[in-house]
Amino acid sequence: MFRDYIGDMDLETAYDHVANITIISRKANEEIGSKRPDEYLSGLDTEILKSHYIPLDSKLWRPENYLKFLEQRKKMIISALKRE
């Protein structure tokens, strides 16, 4: 069952949260390297972001909004699973 909350997790737990996982190629991972999410996500096409359930609000890509990002992405993934 999905947890009803995210905001009270420590960052180490939050990094491993299912809402932070996506499948990408080795090449994409190497290109991302140590870039911040707001740096590499801004260069991706909207359709790619949508296909990975990445919230389109670029403010959520900033590190300081990470927990809000997880919350939004979790909602998007759950919504997609319910449609299937």
Which structural domain, as residue segments, surrounds residue 48? Answer: 14-83
Number of other residues whose CB lies within 10 A of the CB of residue 30? 9
Query: Is residue 33 exposed (0-12), middle (13-18) or buried (19+ Cβ within 10 Å)?
Result: exposed
Residue 4 resides in a domain: no
Residue 55 resides in a domain: yes
Q: What is the pLDDT of residues 19-77, one digit of tens each?
A: 888 999 999 999 999 999 999 999 999 999 999 999 999 999 998 999 899 999 999 99
Q: What is the pTM of this model?
A: 0.80
| Banded pLDDT at 6 (limits 50, 70, 90) | low
pLDDT score at 37: 93
Residue 6 resides in a domain: no
